[in-house]
């Protein structure tokens, strides 16, 4: 009877098993957690904004708007800055509407919103800006800030769903608007881009639509993170609008990129620059339907080296130095630069009726 072959040592069997498992299973890189020492929670950020409004009630007001649809409710907070709140806005001022935090995982955008409100009220220093000139700019503006458009989605992220950009019932709010709604590209990802059951099916989108109708902004900026870019329409096709207003929009962005960001940002249409088409977006609606003269999307931060499943790091600065730099210097002055550029060009900011026509002029060179 032949002798049995010698058995390999147990440690070799263990090593072989480990190598087999490693080759068959992709081992995920560790996910970066929320840097809670530098980021506010959603509740603490909103509390700080409420306290700021209370300290500066002569210039700021805050409204809570709540609505629901098919058993799902959402609440948005809208902060209004008016330099002379007691005076009647007689149509001579430029209306600016800003939204932050439309995607829950983009925490840095809401921090920028808070920073902006401090600058508007407590004149936190902006490098290279003369505060007296800054005051004269503010006298010509009414600004509405939505610091956290997707509060329910933000709560999901804080509970551990760090890659979730959707609202509280799984809809991407930046796909829930009516322009080219529901179209799906070949690389459509239902987890990322669920457009909802119909245009404006989501309470958050309904509230923002009504806000755009009542406020009638001349400038709209949707602030996101994920890359560094200054976008104009369109998102749903690889082209920009035609005409003088589109030429002016591009000139605004090119000048802004050159003067403030050393030509480091992508500039152009979202659909032509970002690498994919997006259907049912807010900015395309603001241009085509709401007829906002200057609708933009600003992408304020992105870590290209981060793993695609390490979402907090991909969309948000994770160290305090980068966080402070981005919060303080990136894109906050751009809103006012746009107004200044329009004044330089004596641009007529027109809405759908002549009664809402404005001439933006008389603002000094501040930036």
Residue pLDDT, tens place only, 118-170? 988 886 556 566 677 777 778 888 999 999 999 999 999 999 999 999 999 99
Name the pLDDT band for 346 (thresholds 50, 70, 90): very low
Task: Give the tens place of pLDDT for each residue, 187-222.
Answer: 889 889 999 999 999 999 999 999 999 999 999 999
Residue 338 has pLDDT above 60, yes or no: no
Task: Give the tens place of pLDDT for each residue, 239-274.
Answer: 999 998 899 889 889 988 887 788 989 999 999 888
* pTM score, whole prediction: 0.85
- Mean pLDDT across 32-58: 97
**199 neighbors 280 (Cβ within 8 angstroms):** yes
- Mean pLDDT across 78-101: 82
- Low-confidence winner among 115-119, 287-291, 298-302, 359-363 (lowest mean pLDDT): 359-363
Pick the catalytic residue: 161, 185, 299, 354? 299
Residue 353 has pLDDT above 80, yes or no: no
For residue 56, give the nearest of 44, 48, 65 by alpha carbon. 48
Query: Hey, which of 38-42, 182-186, 329-333 has the most confident mean pLDDT?
Result: 38-42
Which ranges constitute the DSSP H helices of the chain?
Answer: 10-24, 42-55, 107-122, 131-138, 151-158, 190-193, 203-215, 244-261, 270-273, 282-288, 311-315, 320-329, 334-344
| pLDDT for res 85 | 65
| pLDDT for res 154 | 98
| pLDDT for res 324 | 84
Name the pLDDT band for 351 (thresholds 50, 70, 90): very low
Residue 238 has pLDDT above 60, yes or no: yes
* CA distances in angstroms from 82 to 141, 145, 311, listed in the order given: 7, 11, 36
Catalytic site residue 159? no
Which pair of tokens denotes residue 340?
Answer: 């200044």
Residues in the chain, overall count: 367
CB contact set of 315 (below 8 Å; sequence gap of 6+): 105, 106, 107, 108, 225, 226, 301, 302, 303
- Average pLDDT of the chain to the nearest whole number: 83
* CA distances in angstroms from 113 to 3, 268, 317, 318, 357, listed in the order given: 78, 24, 15, 18, 28
């Amino acid at each position: 009877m032949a002798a049995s072959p010698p058995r390999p040592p147990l440690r070799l069997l263990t090593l072989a098993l480990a190598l087999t498992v490693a080759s068959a299973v992709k081992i995920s890189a560790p996910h970066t957690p929320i840097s809670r020492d530098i980021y506010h929670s959603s509740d603490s950020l909103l509390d700080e904004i409420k306290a700021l409004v209370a300290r500066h009630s002569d210039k700021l007001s805050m409204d809570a708007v709540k609505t629901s649809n098919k058993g799902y409710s959402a609440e948005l907070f809208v902060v209004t800055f008016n330099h002379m709140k007691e005076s009647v806005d007689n149509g001579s001022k430029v209306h600016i509407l800003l939204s932050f935090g439309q995607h829950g995982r983009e925490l840095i955008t809401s921090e920028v919103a808070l920073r902006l409100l401090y600058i508007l009220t407590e004149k936190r220093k902006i490098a290279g800006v003369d505060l007296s000139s800054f005051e004269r700019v503010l006298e010509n503006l009414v600004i509405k800030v939505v610091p956290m458009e997707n509060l329910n989605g933000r709560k999901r992220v804080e509970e551990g769903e760090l890659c979730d950009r959707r609202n509280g019932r799984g809809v991407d709010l930046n796909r829930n608007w009516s322009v080219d709604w529901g179209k799906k590209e070949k690389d459509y990802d239902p987890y990322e881009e669920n457009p909802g059951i119909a245009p404006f099916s989501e309470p958050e989108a309904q509230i923002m639509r009504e806000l755009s109708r009542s406020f009638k902004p001349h400038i709209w900026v949707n602030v996101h993170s994920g890359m560094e870019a200054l976008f104009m329409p369109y998102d749903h096709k690889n082209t920009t609008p035609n005409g003088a207003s589109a030429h002016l929009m591009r000139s605004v962005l090119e000048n802004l990129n050159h003067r403030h960001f050393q030509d480091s940002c992508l500039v152009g249409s979202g659909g032509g620059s970002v690498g994919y088409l997006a259907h049912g977006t807010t900015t395309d609606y603001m241009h085509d339907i709401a007829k906002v003269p200057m609708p933009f999307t600003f992408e304020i931060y992105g870590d290209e080296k981060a793993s695609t499943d390490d979402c907090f790091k991909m969309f948000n600065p994770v160290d305090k130095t980068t966080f402070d730099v981005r919060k303080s210097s990136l894109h906050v002055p751009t809103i006012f630069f746009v107004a200044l550029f329009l004044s330089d060009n004596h641009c007529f900011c027109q809405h759908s009726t002549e009664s809402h026509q404005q001439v933006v002029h008389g603002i000094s060179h501040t930036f």
